[in-house]
Structure 1
Amino acid sequence: MKRKIIILCYLLVSLYLSAQQLSTDNKLIDEAFKLAVETLYKNSPDSLIKAGGKYGGEWTRDASINSWNAAALLIPEKDAYSLWSVTTHNHTMIGHQYWDQILWVIAAYDYYEKNNDLAFLRKAYIASSNTMLKLEKMVWDPFYGLFTGPSVFNDGISGYEEPIYSDTIKGGDNVLLYPESNRIKCLSTNCVYYEAYIVLSKMAVALGDNLKHIFYLDKATKLKQNIRKYFYDKKQERLYYLIDGYGKIHQFQECLGNAFAILFGIVNLKEARSIVRNVYIGKYGIPSIYPSFKRFSDQKPGRHNVMLWPFAGAFWADACHHVGSKDLFWKELYAQAEMAVKLNDHCFYELYDMNTGKQDGGWQNGVHYLSVNDQTWSATGFLRMIMNDVVGMNFTVNGLCLNPDVALLNKLGFHRLMGIRYQKSRLDIEVKNCGNKIKRMVVNGVVHGLHNPIKPREGKLHIVLYLGH
Structure 2
Amino acid sequence: MTQRGEYPGVPRRTLFVAGGALATSGALAATGAPEAMATPQPASHPPRRVEYTMPTLRFDHADRQSSLGAMYEAALTGLIGINTVYADPGTYDHAHRISYPPGAFVRAGGGYPSPQRWTRDAAVNAWNATSLLGPIVGANTLWAVVDQQPDGGLIVQQDNQWWDQVVWVVAAWHHYQVTGDRAFLTDAYNASTATLAARTTQNYDADFGLFRGPSFMNDGIAGYPSPPWADGVGSSFVLDYPHTDELMCLSTNCLYYGAYVSLAGMADELRRPGEASNHRRAATALRQAINDHLWREDAGTYGYLIHGADGLAGQLDPSQEGAGLAFAVLFGVADTRRTQRLLDGTHWQPKGIVNVWPHFPRFSDDRPGRHNVIVWPMVHSMFGHAAAAGGRPDLFGRAVTGLADLVAASKGNFYEIYNSVTGAVDGGWQTGNTSRWTSQPDQAWSASGYLRLIFSGLFGLTFTPDRLTLAPTLPADWGPVALHGLPYRDMTLDIELSGAGSKVRSCTIDGRPGRPVIGAGGTGRHTIRVTLGH
**Global fold match (TM > 0.5):** yes
Partner of residue 73, structure 2: 34
Q: Equivalents in 2 of 1:468, 1:250: separation in Å?
A: 40
The separation in 1 between residues aligned to 2:210 and 2:532, in whole angstroms, is 49
One of 423, 428, 439 as aligned partner of 1:357: 423
Quote how far apart the aligned CAs of 1:244 are: 1.2
Note if 1:397 corresponds to 2:465. yes
- On the 8 A contact 2:507/2:516 being kept in 1, the answer is no
1:108-152 Cα deviation digits (max 9, x unpaired): 000000000111111011110011111111111122111111000
- TM-score (ref. length: structure 1): 0.91
Which secondary structure does the structure 2 equivalent of 1:429 belong to?
strand
8 Å CA contact 1:20–1:37 kept in 2: the answer is no
| Matched AA of 1:414 | P
Matches within 5 A, 1:268-287: 268-287=335-354
Give runs of aligned pairs for residues 86-97 of structure 1, distance below 5 A.
86-90=145-149, 92-95=154-157, 96=159, 97=161
Question: In structure 2, what is the Cα distance between the partners aligned to 1:258 and 1:429?
Answer: 30
Where does residue 215 of structure 2 map in the other structure?
Answer: 151
Cα contact 1:253–1:289 (8 A) shared by 2: yes
Q: Does 1:52 align with 2:106?
A: no
Distance 2:106 2:532 in 1: 41
Asked whether 1:184 is paired with 2:247, we answer: yes
In structure 2, C-alpha distance between the alignment counterparts of 1:354 and 1:458, rounded to whole Å: 45
Distance in 2 between residues matched to 1:135 and 1:433, nearest whole Å = 46
Match of 1:161 among 211, 219, 225: 225
2:493 matches 1:447: no
- State the match for 1:239 in structure 2: 302
Report the secondary structure of 1:45's partner residue: strand
How far apart are residue 430 of structure 1 and its match? 3.3
Structure 1 residues 335-385: Cα deviation after superposition (integer angstroms, max 9, x where no partner): 0011111x1121111111111111111111222111111111111111111
**Partner of residue 371 from structure 2, selected from 304, 308, 312:** 304
1:404 is displaced (CA, Å) by 2.6
Q: Equivalent residue for 1:218?
A: 281
- Please give the secondary structure, in 1, of the residue aligned with 2:518: coil
Structure 2 counterpart of 1:345: 411
Provide the secondary structure at the position in 1 that maps to 2:359: coil
Greater mean deviation of Cα atoms: 15-24 or 212-221? 15-24
- Opposite residue 132 of structure 2, the aligned amino acid is L
Alignment deviations for residues 309-332 of structure 1 (CA, whole Å, 9 cap, x no partner): 111111111111222222111111
Q: Is the 8 A contact 2:52 2:134 kept in 1?
A: no
Distance in 2 (alpha carbons) for counterparts of 1:9 and 1:289: 36
Q: 1:385 corresponds to which residue?
A: 453
TM-score, normalisation: structure 2: 0.81
Letter in 1 for 2:264: S
Structure 2 vs 1, CA of residues 439 and 267 (structure 1 numbering), >3 Å: closer, same or farther? closer
- How far did residue 422 of structure 1 move? 2.6
Q: How does 1:446-465 map to 2 (within 5 A)?
A: 447=512, 449-455=514-520, 461-465=525-529
1:328 aligns with 2:390: no
Paired residue for 1:79? 138
For each residue in 1:33-92, what CA deviation from the matched residue of structure 2 results, as whole angstroms up to 9, or x when unmatched?
Answer: 111111111200331201111235311111111111111100111111110110112561
SS at the partner of 2:508?
strand
Q: Could you tell me how far apart the structure 2 residues matched to 1:88 and 1:17 are?
A: 26
* Aligned mates of 2:367, 2:182 — CA distance in 1: 49
Higher helix share: 1
Residues 1:116 and 2:155 aligned together = no
Alpha-carbon separation, structure 1, partners of 2:334 and 2:237: 32
- Secondary structure at 1:419's aligned position in 2? strand
Output the amino acid matched with 1:158: A
| 1:9 CA drift (Å) | 9.7
Q: Residues 429 and 135 from structure 1, CA distance in 2 versus in 1: closer, same or farther, beyond 3 angstroms?
A: same
Distance 1:140 1:275 in 2: 27
The answer for the alignment partner of 1:43 in structure 2 is 83
Matched, 1:208 2:266: no
Alpha-carbon RMSD across the aligned residues, in angstroms, is: 2.6
Q: Distance in 2 between matches of 1:238 and 1:31?
A: 35
Q: Summarize the Cα distance change of 1:147–1:19 in structure 2 as closer, same or farther, 3 Å threshold.
A: closer
Q: Equivalent residue for 1:373? A: 441
Q: For residues 262-319 of structure 1, what are the alpha-carbon distances to aligned partners after superposition, in whole Å with 9 as ceiling and x for unaligned?
A: 2212121112111111211111111110000111111110000000011111111111
1:21 aligns with 2:56: yes
Runs (5+) with no aligned partner, structure 1: none
Alpha-carbon shift at residue 158 of structure 1 (Å): 0.8
Whole-angstrom distance in 2 between the partners of 1:154 and 1:276: 22
Distance 2:274 2:16 in 1: 50
Instruction: Supply the distance in 2 between the matched residues of 1:268 and 1:199 (Cα, whole angstroms).
Output: 18
Deviation at 1:390, TM superposition (A): 1.2
Matches of 1:9 and 1:163, distance apart in 2:
46
Q: CA deviation at 1:457?
A: 5.4
User: Could you tell me which of 280, 287, 291 is aligned with 1:228?
Assistant: 291
Tell me which amino acid in the other structure corresponds to 1:402.
L
What's the CA shift for 1:434? Answer: 10
Where do residues 124-135 of structure 1 align in structure 2 (5 Å cutoff)? Answer: 124-135=188-199
Partner of 2:373, secondary structure, is coil
CA contact (8 A) 2:480 2:499 kept: no
Could you list the per-position Cα deviations for residues 381-437 of structure 1 after superposition, in whole angstroms to 9, with x for gaps in the alignment? 1111111121121222223222333x43x6223332123333344433235799995
SS in 2 for 1:113: helix
- Report the Cα distance in structure 1 between the residues aligned to 2:118 and 2:320, rounded to whole angstroms: 25
Pair 1:256–1:5, CA change in 2 (3 A): closer
Q: Contact (CA 8 Å) 1:73, 1:421: kept in 2 or not?
A: yes
Stretch of structure 1 that moved more, 113-122 or 418-427: 418-427
- Counterpart contact for 1:21–1:33, Cα < 8 Å: no
Q: Distance in 1 between matches of 2:429 and 2:207?
A: 35
Q: Which has the higher contact order (CA 8 A, sep 6+)?
A: 1
- SS of corresponding position for 1:276: helix
